[in-house]
Amino acid sequence: MSERPPERVVIRGVKPELECGRFPVKRVLGETVAVEADIFSYGHDALECVVRYRYEDDELWTEISMEALGNDHWRAQFPVDKLGQYIYTITAWIDPFRTWYQDLLTRIRADQDVTVDLQIGAEMLKAASERAMGADARKLQHAARHLRIEDVDDRLAALASRYAERSRASHYRELRVTVDPIRARFSTWYEMFPRSCGTFKDCERIIPEVAEMGFDVLYFPPIHPIGRTHRKGKNNSREAEPGEPGSPWAIGSKEGGHKAVHPELGTLDDFRRFVAAAKSLGLEVALDLAYQCSPDHSYVREHPEWFRWRPDGTVQYAENPPKKYEDIYPFEFETPHWRSLWEELKNIVEFWIDQGVRIFRVDNPHTKPFDFWEWMIRDLKKKHPDLIFLSEAFTRPNIMYHLAKLGFNQSYTYFTWRNTKHELTEYFTELTRTEVAEFFRPNLWPNTPDILHESLQRGGRPAFMARLVLAATLGANYGVYGPAYELCENVPREAGSEEYLNSEKYEIKQRNLDDPSSLRPFISRVNAIRRENPALQSNAHLQFHAINNDQIICYSKRTADKRNVIVTFVNLDSLWTQSGYVELPVEDLGIDVRHPYRMVDLLTGVRFMWQGSRNYVELRPSEVPVHILRKE
């Protein structure tokens, strides 16, 4: 039995909390952290509960009183306005004076003698005054000397409670919240291969066009020198023909490795100028972080201990049986020299940070040690809390979620393979309405250079429009492999394949992005709608709505104050017109059902006069297979 008196107050069911505080929850600048818990004690004494929080580098705590919501449930929230980490906890204790005050009021209402009760209250006030300072101490001392029934009110109770004895208070474990840049929550990505444009200087001409389309992240696949040994040719053929550029993911040649740019793209000075030009128009440049080497990379010669060697004296190349990637050597993370390997991989990121890069798309992080990512991201963010890491891990949910907890700010998702109403509803309910939302930020991509889904292959232009709107409105973060998406490229390498025919991963592509059939105007309008409507800049209030047709999905997003409400309808059938009646929870959306209301389609400008919660919708793939509606 402990010599310390037992704590009287129980604190449990704290939210948000991840794995008993092992990992931080996530917010962005300007958001709040709403803390809730079940807090109770035996008996009938009154409780006082506070949330205590501080920025990681501060010593002093700030306290916010928690509000009792009933059934022993308490709540408070605090703001986060600095990048980095905050620490928060809950402290709760028995409040003797408030207990006394409540009992006093009960006795007064029962017309009982309260002479002794006032003496007890005076002693409590005197004790509180000894713990207080300044004006508060003087007020408490005066009240203790002259306590009368008419002096006792809520203000005096609150003052006394502020200086209650806390020696037996219950303290919850310290929890953490990571605060990221706003772009971690809301971003619009455009992926392109710079070599298809020419040099970095040539790419500068494209920056205004990408910015005008409403994108704020311009993402490049690897820009480093490409190896020549076992270089892959067109359509991933085993041998490259003379002049074929190879895969950008086969990093390293005699011209340099991960800290160099391909000489055909220009120089590091050219790249820095490109980054600065992009920033001037509101675009951040994101780089691909691919931890692998071509056989020609200097690391293979200078650090053979970082690779796995086979009995025949050759390095183990990358494989995903039956596929073989002879042009790529993966690092051997199980090497006894793992410390030097880890340090060098972190140095690569620091090098590009020095060139002005703040966003990294990480290639296949699920094939590297979890401890490595936690160590590297934590260490880098101590110095650069504005960094954003996007996890490209198409793997099992537990692994994707664990990587997010370790520090990745955003993650690719299964969105590409969620196509029916049921699949989409179930998946995005999991991402936005469960604990997952506290640490996992989805970034939705309808296509990538690696993935051309069957829905786009078969559905043509209507499918491209529908999938874009799904990505842009279901998720606050989304991106496209831009040039291919603008032109609705949808021919697979072969039947049943998700690879593009004549993939840009293995060749330089020349396109006419001014083609009159381009989706560029449609994409630009969708992105403008995202920028103009705060409801689409967060996943916090995503809600699906019933409609009596499984080929139409309907959902809404709103701001917390319901001043901005967006209702989206998407026809999931790329061939046929679909219609149905939707049931909207009008009160949840802040709509007055007593009067007709007008909904405007932000894509087309068409207006609909609706009445009540049940209304008719019809969507034609031959025109525009979606509605993005806002109440006027």
Number of H helices, E strands in the chain: 15, 30
Q: What distance in Å separates the CA atoms of residue 534 and residue 552, rounded to the nearest whole number?
A: 24
CA-based nearest residue to 404, from 460, 443, 461, 456: 443
Q: What distance in Å separates the CA atoms of residue 20 and residue 324, rounded to the nearest whole number?
A: 42
Token digits of residue 597: 């209301």
Helix (H) or strand (E) holding 491: none
CA 528, distance to chain mean position in Å, is 21
Q: Is 587 a catalytic residue?
A: no
Cβ-count burial 147-162 (b if 16+ within 10 Å, e if not): beeeebeeebbebbbb
Our CA angle for 234, 239, 241, nearest 5°, is 65
CA 204, distance to chain mean position in Å, is 29
Pinpoint the alpha helices (H) of 329-420: 338-354, 370-383, 397-406
Residue 350: φ, ψ to 5°: -60, -35
Helix (H) or strand (E) holding 405: helix 397-406
Annotated catalytic residue, options 36, 392, 507, 573 = 392
Q: How, if at all, do strands 292-293 and 565-571 pair? A: unpaired
CA-based nearest residue to 37, from 59, 9, 56: 9
Token pair 């409801």 in the structure block, residue: 535
Q: Contact 461/495 with Cβ under 8 angstroms?
A: no
- 434 CB-near residues (< 8 Å, 6+ apart): none
Coil, strand, or helix at residue 218? Answer: strand
Angle, helices 397-406 vs 370-383, to 10°: value is 30
CA 269, distance to chain mean position in Å, is 32
CA 315, distance to chain mean position in Å, is 38
Annotated catalytic residue, options 327, 363, 504, 573 = 363
Q: Contact 157/41 with Cβ under 8 angstroms?
A: no
Q: What distance in Å separates the CA atoms of residue 383 and residue 387, rounded to the nearest whole number?
A: 9
Q: Contact 349/382 with Cβ under 8 angstroms?
A: no
Q: How, if at all, do strands 552-558 and 323-325 pair? A: unpaired
Q: Is 392 a catalytic residue?
A: yes
Q: What distance in Å separates the CA atoms of residue 326 and residue 227, rounded to the nearest whole number?
A: 11
Q: What distance in Å separates the CA atoms of residue 356 and residue 99, rounded to the nearest whole number?
A: 59
> Which residue numbers are catalytic?
363, 392
